[in-house]
Structure 1
């Protein structure tokens, strides 16, 4: 939301990203380490990870009244992020065929150096970003679920019946093509949650096993991208495993298969939903950094930060809103086309209103040189349609 501008074969041997049978359900860091003991890392990044984790443990112990309150000195902060200007949709839309896909970029230039302390903390990083509720929350009304029920589009019309005449007319135009929407919680993660549910729902309805095999190849390539950028695998492997588990479970024919109601229920569980959101955030960050030369002009137009700083501050943390840059990167990395319908007050000719939309079709040059990455056909109509209202994304269902 925010400003707009195995496995290589399936089925087969368990991918190293898949959850072990003993760890089905909610991920558990200590259980994972017991199941798969690791040798002591010796790389500088791994050393930083251990120091960060040890510092975090000391802080928790001190907070609980224990001893050993010495904490590691804080890591230097990156340059402050600038305020993002209004969306540059036209500029980004024209960039699809631009040079500089980054496929031949120098890996050293793309690697965040050093790996951020937050990313090196593994489970602590998740709890910092997606931790439990405030221990002393303020009284408030019922929260919107992470993913809501399917509603007729007339519910959106009723919401704006006393609002802008332009919006009322645009909702009528939307009603000519779409008959329902599904709302998501406005917590800064609505784009990723909308994409998550819409994609899994599509696989559940179509049972497209070829698509599942295709996207799993791309996921494996995304894992290699992050490793090449210097990320430590245990900091993100649970997020990857959670999405793969949900992806496999929407395919029917095995004990863990789930139907529409269970998919909605799982998407509303905080840990499952947040883990999948984090999976998308890491994939998006990896793609942006892998193709840094391509994305750098757009990032510098939005902020005063470097590509690595932008990913650390505006892509990877939970609750950070999404822009065109994020959508392009995720669509390209996974090879999934996305359509976004824009419900706003923009209108060049009030007498001839139309609802603007943009199709984010995976760029052919995004996977150039990566044989393992595959995209949907360029002429395929996006089967994921999101409704954008300034600051928020929901899911739209065509007639």
Structure 2
């Protein structure tokens, strides 16, 4: 398992892990005032985002090749390499929340399919610690309690108990329900913000390198609001807070020094933590890294869900 410093420093190499919504060019930006430009971009983003649901259908990986058939040959070659390990992709809406929505669906889908009660017990303990962390940081409980309650409700719904769990189709339907999907996204945003604030000394150098702002300003402006983009700091924080390993696979136009085409990935492995007292064990280098069961595809500007070959 990586040390804390290695984890974020390595992840910073993935400088393209910044979520955003791509917008077409406008012919004459010089004639637009700043507020006109912002309004124009917002309108374009809203139209583009509405073209797909919050969580799409599962598609064969070949659908990516069709999307890039007239594009960069390096991308097409990388998609061929991807098919050796991955079978399918599930797209998410490009509205600035795509990382959190992808994480949400991939995690709940894993619990639905695995029925891993030990994992549910573990993450429930982590969620309780995160709740206490927010309270200790001065958050009023009414500001986040509904988001926490809804996530735990969704978690219970995918685990069989006295009643059968929901079906996969119902999970997809719930993930497309804005009142559910947005609430769970906000739950993850509060979790991420609390983790960053709680370990502010650790995150501060990386945040200042990215935005030249304080930890508090970063959380208020770049973590907690809906629609704000996510980068490696967000991913590291949510992985550590919930104890969930995440693999990010990069589909871009890069190649190695010899011109060879390879598909790079980075595993965000959570630091060891005892959820009963939330102590982080910094001497966990002898532990085996947690194998990620959440696999996300990053293309410049967006995250989707990847499904490994069986």
- Bucket of the pairwise TM-score, normalised by the shorter protein: 0.7 to 0.9
Q: Measure, in 1, the Cα distance between the counterparts of 2:150 and 2:11.
A: 35
Task: Extract unaligned runs of 5+ from structure 2.
Answer: 1-5, 13-41, 282-286
Q: Measure, in 2, the Cα distance between the counterparts of 1:140 and 1:342.
A: 22
CA-to-partner distance for each residue in 1:314-346, whole Å, 9 max, x for gaps?
000000010000000000000000000000111
Structure 2 counterpart SS, 1:352: coil
Aligned equivalent of 2:127, options 219, 222, 225? 219
RMSD, matched Cα: 2.5
1:93 corresponding residue in structure 2 = 10
Instruction: Give the 3 Å change call, closer, same or farther, for CA 172–307 of structure 1 in structure 2.
Output: same
**Greater CA radius of gyration, 1 or 2?**
1
Structure 2 counterpart SS, 1:149: strand
Aligned equivalent of 2:78, options 139, 152, 170? 170
Contact 2:267 2:292 in 1 (8 A): yes
2:290 corresponding residue in structure 1 = 380
2:307 corresponding residue in structure 1 = 397
Aligned equivalent of 2:159, options 242, 251, 263? 251
1:68 corresponding residue in structure 2 = none
Aligned residues: 268
**TM-score in terms of structure 1 length:** 0.63
Q: CA deviation at 1:380?
A: 2.6
Contact 1:243 1:279 in 2 (8 A): yes
Contact 1:340 1:386 in 2 (8 A): yes
Q: Measure, in 1, the Cα distance between the counterparts of 2:114 and 2:275.
A: 30
Structure 1 counterpart SS, 2:254: coil
1:3 corresponding residue in structure 2 = none
Instruction: Give the 3 Å change call, closer, same or farther, for CA 160–182 of structure 1 in structure 2.
Output: same
* Pair 1:209-2:126 in alignment: no
Structure 1 counterpart SS, 2:190: helix
Structure 2 counterpart SS, 1:371: coil
**TM-score in terms of structure 2 length:** 0.81
Task: Extract unaligned runs of 5+ from structure 1.
Answer: 1-88, 96-133
Q: Measure, in 1, the Cα distance between the counterparts of 2:90 and 2:208.
A: 34
Q: Measure, in 2, the Cα distance between the counterparts of 1:170 and 1:384.
A: 20
Aligned equivalent of 1:363, options 247, 254, 271? 271
Structure with the bigger RCO (C-alpha within 8 Å, sep 6+) is 2
Aligned equivalent of 2:61, options 147, 153, 170? 153
2:29 corresponding residue in structure 1 = none
Q: Measure, in 1, the Cα distance between the counterparts of 2:230 and 2:48.
A: 26
Q: Measure, in 2, the Cα distance between the counterparts of 1:380 and 1:188.
A: 28
Q: 1 or 2, which has the higher strand percentage?
A: 2
Aligned equivalent of 1:240, options 132, 148, 153? 148
